[in-house]
Structure 1
Amino acid sequence: METPAETYREDGFTLARWQLADEPELTATVNGSLEHIGAWMIWATGGYTAEDSAEFLRTTRRAWASGETHDFAIRVDGAIAGAVGIMAREGGVEIGYWLAREFVGRGLVTRAVRVLTAEAFRLGAGYVEIKHDERNVRSGAVPARLGFTKVRTEPADKPPAPSCTGTNHVWRLARTPCSAPAAP
């Protein structure tokens, strides 16, 4: 897959490539939603420090340059609302996401995933997958809304966060001649 743009502007939000200068705001955003994010993301359990943010931002910068991962901040009125990323896989990509508590229920992740799915197909990905813990019903609603098909369950490849079972549902949307995810 080719490299995506660094910024996507949509009605009501922006997807922007992470910058090193985002560290203080990223740290504050995650810490402001630790209980919410940490329930599903192991990296957000037990606190999130400025060094955690700085390490993530350095890592995402290297991964962007190598084409391994393309991570974006989801911004609403300039503020970080969450994150979404495209991870290279054999023949396709995986999309992952999280949202700060105060931004849940606005359709932001669904719309962000729709944008990045269409872009992944435009840039040559053969498929897009989304994985989530079987208990994370809200996360699973995103691919369901966008026309993805649940194709399998599998063990999580990392130790599960507190609310997780360690079993992931895997959703897939394959590229077709007219690929575009369904409108929510």
Structure 2
Amino acid sequence: METPAETFTRDEFSLTRWQSADCAAVAAAVAGSGAHLADWVPWAMDGYTASDAADFLRLTHENWETGRAYEWAIRAGAALAGGVGVMTRDGGVEIGYWLAREFTGRGLVTRAVSLLVSDVFARGAGYVEIKHDEANVRSGAIPARLGFSLVGKEPRPDAVRPPSCAGTHHVWRLERP
């Protein structure tokens, strides 16, 4: 698959490739969302610092350059609303996402994922998968809304499980039309 665009712009939101200049905004968005994120993702469980944000941004740069993953900031106007990423898999991709607490319920992730699904299929991906903890009903509503099929369950790979998690991922899949 070819490398995706670094920026996508739609009506009231945009996706922009993460930059090192985003460090303070990432740290503030994650830290400000406290338990909202820590309930579901291990990387937010013990607080989130500027050092964590810098490590994340370094990793996203490395992943982009090697083609392992492509990640973008979700921006609502000038505000950092969250993040979305496309991880390459054999023959397809997996998409993951998160939102800062104050940006939930606006359809931002649904529209961002829809945009990226169209993009990865145009660039040759054979399928898209989305995985989420079975207790995270809001996260699971996104692939359901976008026409994905629930194809299975698997144990969460996390060594430390976030507090609200059931420990089982739902696996959703959409095949290229």
TM-score computed with the length of structure 2 as normaliser: 0.98
Question: Equivalent residue for 1:180?
Answer: none
- TM superposition shift of 1:151: 0.2
Point out 4+ residue stretches in structure 1 off by more than 4 angstroms. none
Distance 1:158 1:114 in 2: 27
Q: Within 5 Å, which residues of 2 pair with 1:1-184?
A: 1-159=1-159, 160-176=161-177
- TM superposition shift of 1:161: 1.1
Instruction: For residues 55-105 of structure 1, give each alpha carbon's deviation from its aligned partner in whole angstroms, at most 9, with x where no partner exists.
Output: 000000000000000000000111110000000011000000000000000
Instruction: Provide the alpha-carbon RMSD of the alignment.
Output: 0.6
- TM superposition shift of 1:20: 0.4
Task: Give the letter aligned to residue 102 of structure 1.
Answer: E
What residue ranges of structure 1 are gaps of 5+ in the alignment?
A: 177-184
Distance 1:62 1:143 in 2: 28
- TM superposition shift of 1:106: 0.3
What residue ranges of structure 2 are gaps of 5+ in the alignment?
A: none
TM-score computed with the length of structure 1 as normaliser: 0.94
Distance 1:129 1:43 in 2: 21
Task: Give the letter aligned to residue 46 of structure 1.
Answer: D
Distance 1:46 1:65 in 2: 29
Distance 2:126 2:24 in 1: 36
- TM superposition shift of 1:46: 1.2
